[in-house]
């Protein structure tokens, strides 16, 4: 895929051509118990394709562990471990350390096997936040992917720090007095950038090639990398299952969830956002979790999204990689 992009003539047909290059091998197989239209299980399937076989997955407790590992069955054709809710990053760092030591000592085959930890927004942004921060700070050769469906869906749609402003959840419901979640979503990718993580990216399975390219890139990093993947949850978002992909695209086109990557400190948009972004209304209106919103409230969200977008664009336009800054100093 990457070689194709290097040839300018092939760029136009690339989008049609690229999916044909995707591996047909499945590492996350069917028969699992995910809901219809689950964005997360789709994203995991794509992620595994991009990672390939030399991978060990550490899974935080959550929907994906529940739907994929009902003993005596498993949907995983990769080595996989689940321990508990808050510790995927810590277990994954142990996996990395174990593989590293055993390889160095000649106890296992001498080739790189990547440790990849995954968790939902609750297991990553809330209860697993400390373990994630520690693992990233310690510079393990590990990729962490957060599959963010914006609430504790596994336990029944409770509010997390990934829940959007004013979304209705079972613990931050839209009531007569309080109209849903009262604070803005935590910006975890930005916090990961602040950890000096060499590669940070946002993604959604609605742009599968973009997501898989990011996973491949993150896999190559010799050190910590982080991908924040927005995934639709029809059950929790109160949306029809067939809108799974469409919602991810609307999240991008409205600027609510831009797709970008931060390499060595430099920001870059990876999927173009229309010059004239669609109004947030287009994203919010089809979702049951936002159906109580008044025009005024939607306007508040629009303004916030505009400001977030501009903040990101300043970074995209002005940020420099540490490598560039280093080169400037030596000049």
Binding-site ranges for another protein (CB under 8 A):
53-56, 58, 65-66, 69-72, 74, 76-84, 86-87, 89-102, 104-105, 107-109, 113, 130-131, 133-135, 137-138
Q: d(Cα 133, Cα 299) in Å, to the nearest integer?
A: 34
CB closer to another protein out of 66 and 269: 66
Least gap, CB of 171 to another protein (angstroms): 22
Min separation Cβ 55 and another protein, Å? 7
User: Whose Cβ is closer to another protein: residue 131's or residue 230's?
Assistant: 131
Report the residue number, 58 or 204, with the smaller CB distance to another protein: 58
Q: Which is nearer to another protein, 130 or 294 (CB)?
A: 130
Report the alpha-carbon angle 16-20-23, nearest 5: 145
Backbone CA torsion sign across 145, 318, 210, 1: negative
**In the complex, minimum distance from the CB of residue 54 to another protein, in angstroms, rounded to a whole number:** 5
CB 197 to another protein: min, Å: 16
Measured distance CA(226)–CA(247) in Å, rounded: 23
Q: Provide, rounded to whole angstroms, the least separation between the CB of residue 70 and another protein.
A: 5
Instruction: Report the alpha-carbon distance of residue 27 to residue 47 in Å, rounded.
Output: 9
Coil, helix or strand for 57? strand
Shortest Å, Cβ 192 to another protein: 15
Distance CA 33, CA 41 (A): 10
CA angle 151, 63, 191 (to 5 degrees): 50
Least distance CB 195 / another protein (angstroms)? 12
Q: Which is nearer to another protein, 87 or 206 (CB)?
A: 87
296 burial via Cβ count (<10 Å: 0-12, 13-18, 19+): exposed
Residue number, 78 or 300, with CB nearest to another protein:
78
Sort strands 266-269 and 260-263 into parallel, antiparallel or unpaired: antiparallel
Q: Residue 15 class from Cβ within 10 Å (0-12 exposed, 13-18 middle, 19+ buried)?
A: exposed
Nearer to another protein, 52 or 288 (CB): 52
Which residues, including other chains, have CB under 8 Å from residue 27's CB and lie 6 or more apart?
Answer: 45, 48, 49, 51, 52, 53, 55, 76, 77, 78
């Amino acid at each position: 895929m990457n070689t194709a992009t290097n040839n300018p003539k092939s760029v136009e047909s690339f989008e049609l051509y690229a999916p044909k290059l995707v591996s047909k091998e499945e590492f996350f197989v069917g028969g699992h118990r995910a809901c219809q239209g689950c964005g997360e299980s789709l994203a995991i399937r794509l992620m595994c394709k991009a990672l390939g076989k030399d991978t060990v997955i550490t899974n935080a407790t959550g929907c994906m562990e529940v739907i994929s590992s009902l003993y005596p069955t498993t949907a995983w054709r990769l080595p996989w471990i689940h321990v508990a809710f808050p510790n995927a990053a810590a277990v994954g760092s142990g996996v990395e350390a174990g593989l590293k030591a055993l390889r160095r000592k000649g106890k296992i085959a001498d080739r790189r096997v990547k440790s990849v930890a995954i968790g939902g927004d609750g297991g990553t942004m809330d209860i697993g936040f400390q373990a994630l921060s520690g693992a990233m700070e310690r510079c393990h050769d590990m990729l962490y992917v957060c599959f963010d469906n914006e609430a504790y869906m596994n336990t029944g749609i409770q509010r997390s720090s990934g829940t959007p402003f004013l979304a209705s959840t079972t613990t931050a419901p839209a009531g007569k007095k309080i109209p849903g979640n009262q604070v803005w979503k935590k910006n975890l990718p930005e916090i990961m950038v602040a950890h000096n993580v060499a590669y940070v990216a946002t993604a959604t399975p609605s742009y599968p090639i973009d997501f898989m390219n990011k996973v491949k890139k993150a896999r190559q990093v010799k050190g910590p990398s982080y991908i924040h993947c927005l995934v639709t949850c029809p059950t929790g978002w109160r949306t029809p299952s067939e809108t799974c992909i469409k919602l991810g695209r609307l999240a991008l086109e409205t600027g609510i969830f831009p797709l970008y990557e931060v390499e060595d400190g430099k920001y870059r948009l990876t999927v173009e956002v229309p010059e004239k972004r669609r109004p947030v209304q287009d994203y919010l209106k089809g979702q049951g979790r936002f159906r109580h919103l008044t025009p005024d409230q939607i306007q508040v969200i629009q303004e916030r999204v505009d400001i977030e977008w501009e903040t990101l664009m300043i970074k995209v336009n002005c940020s420099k990689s540490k490598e560039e800054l280093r080169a400037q100093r030596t000049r």
